[in-house]
Structure formats: C-alpha cells, structure tokens
Structure 1
Amino acid sequence: MSKCMVTPNFTLCKVCAQPANGNHFGIQSCRACAAFFRRAAHSKWGSQPCRSHNCERKLIPCKPCRLKRCQEQGMSTSNFQFNRDILKRILPRSVEMFVGKPESVIFCDSSESVSSEKTFINVQKLIDNTSAILKNGMETPVSGRNQLQKLANGFGGFTSQVSVKFLKTMSKDETADCWEYYITTTARWLTFFDEFRLLPDELQLKIALAVWHVWGRLEKHAITALLRKQNLFSDRHMVVVGRNVLINLEEFDYDHTWLTKYPPEQVEFFTGVKSMELYESVDYLIDLEPTQVELTYMLAQISFQYAGQRFQGEILKASERFQQILSNDLHDYYVNELEKPRYSERLAKMMKVNNMIQRHVREIRPRADLARTFDIFSVEFSHPEVFHDTGF
C-alpha cells in the first residue's frame, strides 16, 4: 500500500478537520475517523448521550458525539467506498491493465530451468521484499487501546481501499499477483502487532511466509461477505480473490497450462480452485457480520494457531502467547467497550468459520501428496516451504 501524501492543497476531514486521505463512507475524511465509524456505526454509541458535556469545543469529541458528527456530515455504511472505488465490470485486455504484471515472482522457461520438464518459479525477490517490510515496521503510525485494537486499526487501513474488478480468466500472472498481494499484505499487517515485533527477524519472516495463505483465505471470504451484505451482488458464485478481484466460480476459466500438462477437469480435484468450502464460510460470515475487531481476532487466531501447529518449539510458544494476549484484549472489547460480558456464543460462531478453513487446509494435504506422487504439477519453486499447504 502506498503512503498517504499530503500536498499543500489537501482536503480536510469533515469530522475532525485534520488532513483527509480519501473518500470514506461517502465523505472526505481522515483514516482515523473512517476506522472509528466502521467500528462504531452499529454500536451502542449511537444511543448514548454525550459523556463530557463539552464536545462542541473538542477536536475529537467523546464516542457518542463523534459518531453523531460522522452521521451529520453524511457518513453512512451504505456508502462503503462506492463513491470512491467504482466496480469495473469490463474484462481487462491485459495483465498490465488489470494490476500490472507481478515483479517479485519470476517464471523461468523450461529450457532455462533446472528440469527440462518443469517451469522454475523464483520467489527470492518476494521473500526479500517481505523481509524488508517486516524490518521497516509500520508504514503509517497506528494507535489503539490495546494490541488487538491496534491490529484492527491496521487492518482497517487495508480494507478501506477496496476496489473490485471483474475477471473471467486467471492464468499464471494473476495467480502470482495473488501470492504477492497476500504475502506482503500479511507481513504489513503483522507489523502492527507489537508483541510479534519482539521476535527475532528470522522468526518473524518464517511465520509471515507460513501463514499468508490461511490469513488470505479468511480475508477474501470476509471481503466477499461484506460486498454481498452491501448488495453489490447477490449471486453466491461471485467471490473476491486476490487483490480484490471478483470472479464467478461457475463461469470463470483458470488457465492451468503453466501449472500442469493435464486438462482442467482432471486437475480440479488437486487444485481446489472452485472449492465449496468458500461458499460455506462466506454464507456464514454474512450471517455473523463480524465487527472489525472480531474479524481481526479471527485472522490472528487462525494465523498463529496454524504457525504453532506447523512449527512447534519456539514458534508454538510464541503463538500461544500471542493468542492469550489477543484473547484478553477481545475480552476487554466485549466487556468494556460493547458491554457484552456474555459473548461465548458469538465467539463459538467466529471459531466455526476458522474451523471451516482449517478443515479445508487439512483436506488439501493428502491431495498435494497425491499430486507429487503422480507428478501432476509441472512447476518447481525456489522456496517450496512458502507454498506448504496451499495445494501447489
């Protein structure tokens, strides 16, 4: 994500009069106010009176008054970025028009490969970029009452810039862009977690390169559910994948020619591209409608649990510590912010979605073993550990 640049002719946020960084929920606002409204739009603050009785003179008023000011200025959840990011239903004519050809994933022709029958995929540059992201830390400062809230605010910076494009076909370049997007975005998100930043650099990188695909799977399900909830589309076969790419699972074509010598109908079992698990979890997320804090907790829980189970040892200990910290923060969120001390039923529903994704990952493993046994895929990765449990 690019950093927000404030020019001499900047626009002021209509809520707090600080420099705005774009159109959020229908008005020009700063990212902080947009994140606040996203959390508070359907919260208890809409029915609460002023808490300070002096908010008219404050730049940042109390939460009830801040929410009221957002609404008075025209913020509405029905305006979820639709005025800012137009849904494009035109099929791009080239990858360059789509998102630009990925620069961090290098495909080598078979004639140049270490194997005459395989395409060599070099992801060293992508790993180097991910390492740099982790070492550099947060691109923009983010604050929060605790570490879960800080992670949620950081995640809000990504989702506030949703721009969906419709695609009818996917090939190796679009697939590589998905890898690049989810790996780097997961790494950026992790930089907002202070406790994670205390780990040695090599462990940070190892975890980021391991969890990106489970983090990304939940994230794309959540974005799909959000857009369907906003009535952007009603067809349950329409889903968001990768860099906010919208596809119809029943109609889109996946070009397997770079991946395998077998026809699509024979490798669908191994790739799982059109998995029914996606439908199930999206439908469940639509009914659940998690808040940004809840979704952030779900992303963290599925990521750190996966990392701990996969690596054991020092990473398992760190992952368990992270989950305990974030569980305590979630408890604080329910009890002190939402005033809902009885939240076990809702937490169980959140974990049910995560369990769906974890079940799918477990189902992929034996398929991947079969694919390797029968030499289904004609690709070879420079760092195969990055694609462990992804199906490739």
Structure 2
Amino acid sequence: MCLICGAPEGEPHFGGICCRACAAFFRRYFHSKKVSKKCTCKERTIKSHPCRKCRVEKCLKIGMTPEKIQGGRDRNTMDHLQMIPSGSCSPSSPPSLLTARIISRATSNLEFAYSNWKQFNRMRREVGGITYDMNIYDLTSLTKIDIELTWNMVISMFPSTRKLEESDKAALLRNFHMKFWMIVPIFDCIENPEFYENTKEEDHKNMMVEFYDGSFEKGKELTKKEIVRIFEPYWGSFYTKTVPPIVGLNLEKEELMAVLWLLFFDNGFINISSECLEMCRNIRKMILRELKNYQTDRNYDEMRFFDTVETLDIIEKGEQKFMEELLVCEMHNVRIHDDFKAILKENKFLTPPLMCLICGSEESEPHFGGTSCRACAAFFRRYFKSKKENINCTCKQRQSRSHPCRKCRIEKCFSTGMTPDKLQGNRDRNSIDFLPMTPSGSSSESSPPSLLSTQIVPRTTANLDFAIPNWQRYEKMREKYIGGIMEWMNIYELTKMTETNYELTWNMVSIMFPSTSKLEEKDKSALLRNFIPKLWQIAPIFDCIKNYDYYEKLNDTQYEKMIVSFYKGSFVEGKELSNKEIMRVFEPFWDSFYNKTAPPIIGLNLEKEELMAIIQGYTNISLECLEMCRNIKKVILRELKNFQNEKNYDEMRFFDTVETLEIIDRGEKKFMGEMTICEMHNVRLHDEFKAILMENKY
C-alpha cells in the first residue's frame, strides 16, 4: 500500500515504498523549477491529491531521497526521429505523429481467462463425461483428467509456467486441486442461482444421498437416514457459510477469474522452489493489478476490491471443512479413487495432528505405531490383553452415537498403522498387602485399608470458569485507571492507555497461567505486542454482546455521532477534517466491523466460558515460548470441548467457536488498514501505540 496517497499498489521507489504516480510526482518535483511555499490543501477538492508541499513532505517522511533520482536525459529533436507516415513505406516522406489517446487500463488476462475457463469445462464434459448425478467415487476417478486439463489451461494463460520444473508443476497442481473442488460448485451456484434458491429441503437431502450412494465398500453401505445424519453438517456449512457470502457479492466473470488464479498461484505454499515462489508472486501481483483496473474502469466502490480478495479466505475455510469431510468419508468406508488419495497423501492431509482417524476425536497423538486418541489407544491395548474374541460385526445392533464394535474398531486401528508388537508387557500387580492405605479420618496404621468410593468426575473446565471473574476484574481495573467509562473517548485518548493495557493484560495472563512467569522479557513483550491489536477487536465485540439491545436500536444519527466523536480531537492542529470528511474516510471500516466481523460472532450466542476460550501463532517468539503457547492452547481447546459436551451442544458449535478466531484476525487486518488511513489523514496516535505498530511492521 502507498503511504502517500493510499493506492493499493506500492513498490520500492527512490528509497521508499509508494505507487508509480507518487514516484513520478517526486521525480518531477525535483526536476521542475516550480516552488511551493504554502499549503493549498483546503482550496482543493476532497478526492484530489494533497498540495505539492504536503505531498513532497510525505514522500520525504517515508524515506524517499532526491539523491536516488537519475539525472536529466538528452531530448531527441525532431530531426532525429525516423518516422514513417501511416500508409507509406518511404523513409523520405514527411514524419507523421500518431494521434494521442487515453489507453484503457489493462485487463487482457482476465478477459481471456473466462473464455479459457469455458473451454476447460467443455473439454471436461467431453473427455470426462461429467454429469450432475455422478457420485463421489466417479468424480474422484477423474482426477488425472482434471489435472491435465487444468495444466493446459494454466500454460495457455501464462506461457512462462512452461519453464517450471516437474516438481513445482506437480506441487502447484496438488495444492490447487482441493480448492478446485470448492470453486466448481461455487461457480455453479453463481451461474444457476434460481435452481439452488428453489431447491427444497427434501431435494437437498436427495442430492446429498446420490453423491455418496454407490461409493461405499461392499457390505458396509449406510442407509439414507445415516448418510444425511453424518454428512449434512458439512453440506450445511458449505451452502450456508461458504456460498452465500460469495454469491452475495454479485461478482462479474472477470472478477471470478481473478479469484480462480489467485487461488492457483498462492505464494504461501512451502513445497515449491524459490523460483516458483517468485513467479507466483509476480503473477499474483499482475492479477491483483488487473482486478483493480477492471473495478476502477467500472467505477466500483473501493471496498469491493477488498471484498473480492476476502473470498480467498472464505474458500480456504471451506477447503478445511472439505478435508474434514474426506476424513469422515474414510471413517465410514466411502471409496475414493486411488489417484485422488495419492494427492491427499502427498499433501499429508490424511494425518492431521488434531483428529483421531478411528473415532473422530479432535485430540490425537502417536500410539503403538499409529496416530489415535488416548481412548482408542487404551482400547487397542485392552484388546490384546483381554481374552475376549469378536468374530462377528455388531455395529447395526449398537446405538448410532456409540463407538463401532470391537471387530470394526480393531480393523480401523490396524489401518492407521498400530501394531501389537509395540505394546508393553504385563506389569506385576500390587496386592492389597503392599498398599499402606489409611482410612478416611484416621491416622492409625493398624486400621483396615479404606478404598475411596468411585465416582464419575465431570470434565474439567476450571480454567474457563476462572477466566470469567479474571476478565471482569480486568475490565474494572481498566475503567478505574481512566477514571470512568470509555464510551466517548477518542482514538488518541484510547491509544494513550497502551502501557496500562500492557500491564493489566500481563497481570491477567500471569494469574491465569502461572507458567508464563518463566518467560524471557523479549517473549513476554512479543506476545503482548501481538495481542494488543486483537484486543482492539475483542473489546468492542464483547461490548456488542453485552449491550446487544443498545446496538440493535442504534439509528443513523447515533451511529454517525459515534464515529465522528471517535476521531474528533485527535487530528494534528490545523489539519482537522470536517464531520462529512470523517464519515467519507472512516465509515467503510466501521461498516466492515459492524456488518462482517461482529454479527457472525454475536449470532453464535456464545456463553461466557466460550468467549473466554476465544481470548488466546506468532513468528517473533522463541521455540520455548512457542511450545508453551501450543500447550496452553491445547488445554483451552480441550476445556472448550468439555464445556460444550457437558451442555450437550451440537458438534458443529465447536468448529463455529474456533472459527471466530479467523473472523477476528480478518477484522484485525481491516483495523491495521484503518491505522494506515489515520496516519495519512493526520490523526494523532500515542507514541506507545505507534511503537507497537512499528515493531510488528504493520
């Protein structure tokens, strides 16, 4: 981002980072004989650039230096120009200058991409015989055809990809193929909105059953009712959380193509070479520039660009759900073609660290040569220590939510790689004579031994229960330090509280998790710096939940007053913005927060314990601190799961709660964009808060 004018395409120029237009201005300024002594910003229109004086001051502030400008070039006179007039090939003819015209911004790749995509789909239907009634096994059997057609589409669009090594080509295709399974149905929903809007619940269930029916291993088929019970949460998540936000944007064909190629050339992959990584960055940069050009030519709102790019996050979250669905398919004996399985195994999708492939529990770890939860590991150990034998499968006689029978469960254990050879031998039993137990209420060694009565201990949620009063204490101390309620404080006054927030946050952390007291100062500082911007998202979200009725009844006048009062009094003296200008500049960021960040979290109706679980990585901490963070996070997630199980909540609620972290992260990115805009419009931020932003390189 250009820190001078706010344009999204910033790159190195003359020692600073700015767009090409501001770089050209900087060069002209020092080559020109014009001198600007006075600021004329107030005489200019709202949407124009700042005056020459202010603009060059911003250039110098971000590090641009006139010493890095090249010297003036020799001009070519008319005598040196060997030009041939239109329609003539004689060099002796008088020169003809072409008429000047404004060339439209380049969007050639996006325009060509849609015809390429249509050809890809036509070839897919002709070669693969794609139809709407194919089941999951039939579709996965087309993996090789899909990959070959995808690569043909890539090289026709971007010929430079032909130079890639085979390993990079294979890695890009493997990484993209899972996203491809999300893109195709999303594009189909966009092209056929009426069909999906008019689909009834029963038709939706039939479509789901047809997708899995015929793909089960022989003798292990599920009934229609069981298919719906197991897979409906994943289909429901796709058609209620993934598709609607994208369809609701009403993206045009060229914008959809930009999303497609941004997903393919993702430079976040770690299994590609540095040359391939650089090529992906360059192509993504070109696509983003063309997307911006396309939307600018059509006079779309600036927020549309950010909304379009955000669809990448939505699709990637949908991809995670799809991977979970494939794991559930494996657990319920759904056949998937070997070509498709090979992609999954190469990308190591089938061995996630947090899911047991035997029972589906979120917590798994290495046991006896395989990966499973502790319960399944204990079953495996007992199976070979016990004298029981199970020859027949009794799954159909068991309750739907119970574990599979011993025969099927042990088969699943073997399929994950567990072997009885790695079991420890029997231990010597301690007889009752060797146990010197003292009965309750007695200290006499001669008293008979007393065994405590057994009882079912409830699942622990101690940390979450303790977190609620701890957070309430934090809020009271925060209000006490500022001497009142923060409701009408402006941004400068709030950023002055940075040091107070630091101290109060660390006190809360050290009380909750005493092991953090052993951290080094640099790790402590890094954790706090990383968390403070998130605190600026969490605090207003919690306030929205606490005062839901107030925010629901908020009218436009009150909303405008709230925004204006947040910035009034924070501007540099003499450079204040009017109420109208404040609303024009900052309202999009507030709308994004109150329309996209807060509602999904409020809509979950989370309880206090679940909200506490949300308050909890990073690349700027040591390995010891990173390991501690992982362990604490694992404890919190386990307690969150326990709390929800005790309340008999649906399993999907756990995933929805964890997804709020991603919503807050997206909100944090918007907030950082808002801080950049504040700097551009001379909004004062306290130095302590600025230091956090600078250290985090925001």
TM-score bucket of the superposed structures, by smaller chain: 0.3 to 0.5
TM-score normalised to the size of structure 2?
0.28
The structure carrying a bigger helix percent of its residues is 2
Q: Per chain length, whose mean CA-contact separation is higher, i.e. which structure has more relative contact order (CA < 8 Å, sep 6+)?
A: 1
Higher strand share: 1
Instruction: Name the larger-Rg structure.
Output: 2
